[in-house]
Amino acid sequence: MDLLGVVESMYRQQGPEPTEALIRRIESNGVVIPTRIYNFFLYLYGKTCRIRDMERWYHRLRRASTGFPHQPISKIKDGTEGTRLSSENVTAGASSPVKAGSQQTPPTPNIYTFTLLIDGYNRAGHIDKVIAVWRDFEKSGLAINQVFISVLLDALGYHHQSQLLVQFWNTLQQGNVAKLTENNFNSYLEALCRMGNFEKACQVFTEEMWPPPKTARKDAKSTLPRPAGKRFGKNPSHKTLVTLLTPLQIHQQTTILRQVLWHVRSYYPSSLETLRDIMGKSE
């Protein structure tokens, strides 16, 4: 079993304090703890809103990293990809301990470090710190990934940061939109609905995610963007439809709800059964 497996097992059986004591004993023997272990503690403390402990481990990582404070964080690179936040992908990276003085890469903050900080602060209601971490990430030079995108969209939507939400999404759209996943779009839809911007959510769904198929457009020179939905399958997924239709129903947005239903019926009739499942017998 590798070091991360040992840490996870000990945490489940004995809790955080004995597990941290184990890490201290390992370090006292001259072993360099990899980033994956630091991220593991960020994940555990963040999801339970133990913010001081989360910050303590982050500052430990900064002190252990050669990128802090002697090397600008902008020189630290990371290309790890992912699609969701979980204990598996937030601890991505080498899990084996490294002997001090070896030629192996020492621990450095990576994309998941920033993602975990944002998620932890969001859970604890610290939107000011979410924004601060986001700004630090922008200066880091790290490559953005889908996990970070969805977690930040969720945080901005949950705390009703309308201006920042649109700013972030527009920045993503100006980049390579092909890298955005269905989950990213769903997070954006959910954030818009949470803030009561139902018209914009409808627009994103009907124009950016699932616009009318090209053959259904009257104007061959339509200015509608290239359908993102083509990457997600032939029809809107159950998850996407639930994400949009449920808040429209709850908040009695009848006009917009009818518009979305008409759009799906007209252009994606294969989704009718899914609509009936979601809407009930009235559909």
- Please provide the average confidence, as pLDDT, over all residues in the chain: 83
pLDDT, tens only, 97-124: 545 444 456 899 999 999 999 999 999 9
Quote the distance between the C-alpha of residue 166 and its chain's center.
Answer: 16
**Confidence band (pLDDT; 50, 70, 90) for 3?**
confident
pLDDT of amino acid 220: 45
31: enclosing H helix or E strand:
strand 31-32
pLDDT, tens only, 254-274: 999 999 999 999 999 999 999
Output DSSP code: residue 277.
H
| CA 237/CA 178 separation, integer angstroms | 18
Residues 198 and 253 sit within 8 Å (Cβ to Cβ): yes
Q: Which of 232, 231, 240 is nearest to 264 (CA)?
A: 240
Q: Is 76 left (phi over 0), alpha (psi -120 to 50) or beta?
A: beta
Across the range 240-248, mean pLDDT stands at 96
| CA 5/CA 130 separation, integer angstroms | 30
Q: Which of 170, 85, 91 is nearest to 122 (CA)?
A: 85
pLDDT of amino acid 231: 66
pLDDT of amino acid 76: 30
| CATH code, residues 1-159 | 1.25.40
Q: Which of 61, 80, 77, 70 is nearest to 141 (CA)?
A: 77
Residues 111 and 152 sit within 8 Å (Cβ to Cβ): no
| CA 114/CA 133 separation, integer angstroms | 7
Within 10 angstroms of residue 254's Cβ, the number of other Cβ atoms is: 10
Residues ≥6 apart with Cβ < 8 Å to 38: 57, 58, 60, 61, 64, 107, 113
- In the chain, where the domains are located: 1-159, 197-283
Phi and psi at 129, nearest 5°, equal -75, -30
Q: Looking at the predicted structure, is the pLDDT value of residue 159 above 80?
A: yes
Three-state DSSP class for residue 99: strand
**Confidence band (pLDDT; 50, 70, 90) for 215?**
low
Residue 60, CA distances (Å) to 63, 64, 68, 73, 233 in order: 5, 6, 10, 15, 44
Burial of 184-204, coded b for 16+ CB within 10 Å and e otherwise, reads bbbbbbbbbbbbebbebbbeb
